[in-house]
Amino acid sequence: MLEAFGGFSAGMLYNTYGLIGSISDGYAQDAYDALTVSDLMNAQKKVADNLVKVLEDLKNGGFLKAKKDQDFAGSLITVLKGLKNQAQLLEDFADNKSRQKQEAYEEQRKKNWSAISKLMGIEE
């Protein structure tokens, strides 16, 4: 069961990462305006918050007995928080197209990809 959970979790992280990137690309090509980006990113941030809470409850509630399962849950929490930050940074950039905001978004995007690829065993 936990292996299936791990697979679904990794897939969800990968898809969320791709979704945020696609919305970023769409914004860059004027397919989305700043308000639409904000709405879409707020939805992603809420999902991330909900999943972090579930994982923290699992981790802290004694449901995950093996250390490797606890460590995996901790890694998922870290990546989810990073994805939430990436979503916020994209929203910030859409609101104010400064180079600093763009660079912050790009830095977080790279950190997230590194963490996701490590979890999934994908070579960078």
Sign of CA dihedral 40, 113, 29, 101: positive
SS3 33: coil
Residues with Cβ within 8 Å of 68's Cβ and at least 6 positions away in sequence, in order, are none
Sign of CA dihedral 31, 36, 38, 39: negative
SS3 50: helix
Residues with Cβ within 8 Å of 48's Cβ and at least 6 positions away in sequence, in order, are 16, 80, 81, 83, 84, 87
Q: What percentage of residues in the chain have a pLDDT greater than 70? A: 94
- What beta strand segments (E) does the chain contain? none
Tens digits of residue pLDDT in 36-72: 999 999 999 999 999 999 999 988 888 888 898 899 9
Q: At what angle do helices 99-120 and 2-28 cross, to 10 degrees?
A: 150
Whole-number pLDDT of residue 124 = 65
Model confidence, pTM: 0.93
pLDDT band at residue 123 under the 50/70/90 scheme: confident
Least confident range from 3-7, 13-17, 39-43, 116-120: namely 3-7
Q: Is the pLDDT of residue 76 over 80?
A: yes
